[in-house]
Copies of this chain bind each other. A is one copy, B any other.
């Protein structure tokens, strides 16, 4: 089964805790958002979003730090994924 995000939305999947430890990243959450290291599974086409042109800079396979609260959790084929807006992705992480 395939999820195709619309507009500026991105489907991401949280990276497992073991993998997180290996890359040396530990995440502390601020009071208002719970950051996450995640892998990008699918990227929307961008285009006009709320009257503004959005270009997608994220690509499938990127490891990213995102804010969880603006996203929507969906379980697909037994895997939990998260649909967020590109603007909810703060940074790309490389090992």
Chain A residues packing against B (C-beta within 8 Å): 1-7, 9, 11, 23-33, 35, 44, 48-55, 57-58, 65, 67, 69, 71-78, 80, 83, 87, 89-95
Contact = CB atoms under 8 A, between A and B. Distances in A.
10 contacts: A1-B94, A3-B92, A6-B92, A11-B91, A28-B73, A35-B72, A48-B52, A48-B54, A50-B87, A51-B53
B28 A75 contact: yes
B65 A3 contact: yes
A46 to B, nearest CB: 11
Contacts of A69: 30-32
Contacts of A6: 57-58, 89-92
